[in-house]
Structure 1
Amino acid sequence: MISKGQNQQPFSTKHYKHQFFAYWGWNSDWYTNSDIHFHGTNYDFSLAKVEARDHQTPFGLDPYINPSAITIPQTNFRIGYFFKDNWSISLGLDHMKYVMQQDQNVRINGSIQNSGTGYDGTYTNDNILLSTDFLMFEHTDGLNYINAEIRRFDNILNLRRYHLPNIDLNVTEGFGIGALLPKSNTTLLGNERYDEFHLAGYGASGFVGLNITFFDHFFIQSELKAGYINMPDIRTTKFSEDRADQHFLFLQSNILVGANFDIGKKKRLKAKE
Structure 2
Amino acid sequence: MTLDAVPRIRLNDGNSIPQLGLGVYKVDDDEAERTVATALEAGYRHLDTAEYYGNEAGVGRALAASGLARDDVYLTTKVWNDQQGYDSTLRSFDLSLSKLGVDVVDLYLIHWPAPRQDLYIETYRALEKIREEGRTRSIGVSNFQTHHLERLLGETDVVPVINQIEVQPWLQQRELRAFGDARHIVTEAWSPLARGRILEDPALLALAAKHGVSTAQAVIRWHLQQGLVVIPKSVTPSRIAENLDVFGFELDADDIGVIDALDSGERVGSHPDEVG
Q: TM-score range by the shorter chain?
A: under 0.3
Q: Which has the larger radius of gyration?
A: 1
Larger relative strand fraction: 1
Larger relative helix fraction: 2
TM-score, structure 2 as length reference: 0.22
